[in-house]
Amino acid sequence: MAIRAAVPATTAPNTGDAPVIADALRQAIDRSELLRRTVKSRPGQHLVQTARGAGVVREKLRFAVGQLGPSRVAGYRLRSSGLRVFVRHENLLSSSRPAATGDVHILNEIFGGTGGQCAYEPPPALAAAFVAEPPRKVMDLGANIGLFGADILGRWPAAAIQSYEPDPANRRLLARVVEANKLEHRWSVSAVAAANDTGEMTFVTGLLAESHLATAADPRGPQTPPSGDVKTITVDTVDLFELDHDVDLLKMDIEGGEWPILTDPRLPGLKADVLVLEWHVLGCPEPDARAAAARLLRAAGYSGQEEVEVATHNGVLWAWREKSAG
């Protein structure tokens, strides 16, 4: 699936007793079948996400009200950095979308430490290197609604970001984030899909964070988002290896589109010092996507690796060439 301008770079947020309280709650839930069923239900998850999200932003009450009302877009300032972000609140009764695809869930993953760790918290091996030399050039493939970019600029305010996002609905919110924070001079947005070739692709849009190229079969089976939102469109693609990929940090979360890039023979020539990759079972040419991602990056020279999240159909992996961590 983070952090801060108001605290030193790569320093975890000061949450006080929050982890202890969260652990106690998890233990209580584990001991009770009734509590487990309640929390895992759709209304239960909605309330959990609401509580977590309200703690991430400065406008706590307005956020909670937004979660309980009709579907709409709302803007908030991050409690950690003061940067402004926008999320799509979804009506609990009308949305059949999986909770993990929602903007509020992603907000919590990146800034709220869902599962005990912020999704893009640098591993210890890189944290010290980033303190000594913060990333200046960042490339964001699959920028979604700009939450990763806001995280980067909260951690390292002097960074410049190149974002690529082909989904029109996601890109509109991304552009609003850039404009609202007056960051046009350091944050560029391109309406293309990153790939290993320049041309066009058929793209499934309307799935929020899980919009993806249409040529790969989804092993999770058909998804059931609200009717009318999902459609296929044609988007332009750009060859990553023909871009200026001499960057300090490259984030790649392109819902299965990573595999043509990872299997491209030019990957060892990629100049990005550090990668943070969300790999997906979707589109993987091998049975074990997790092992394939690690092996392909290692073969390309990214021998330093650390996983920060592993799920059934995806996971987050940091990878770096050893010299990048000093």
Q: What is the CATH number of domain 124-325?
A: 3.40.50.150
Average pLDDT over residues 143-168: 95
- The pLDDT score that the predictor gives to residue 11 is 37
Give the whole-angstrom CA distance, residue 192 versus residue 13. 34
pLDDT band, very low/low/confident/very high, at 312 (cuts 50, 70, 90): confident
Give the whole-angstrom CA distance, residue 322 versus residue 132. 15
pLDDT band, very low/low/confident/very high, at 63 (cuts 50, 70, 90): very high
Q: What is the pTM of this model?
A: 0.81
Model confidence pLDDT, tens digit, residues 87-119: 999 876 655 555 555 899 899 989 986 655 688
Please report, for the chain, the start and end positions of each structural domain, with discontinuous segments joined by +.
18-116, 124-325
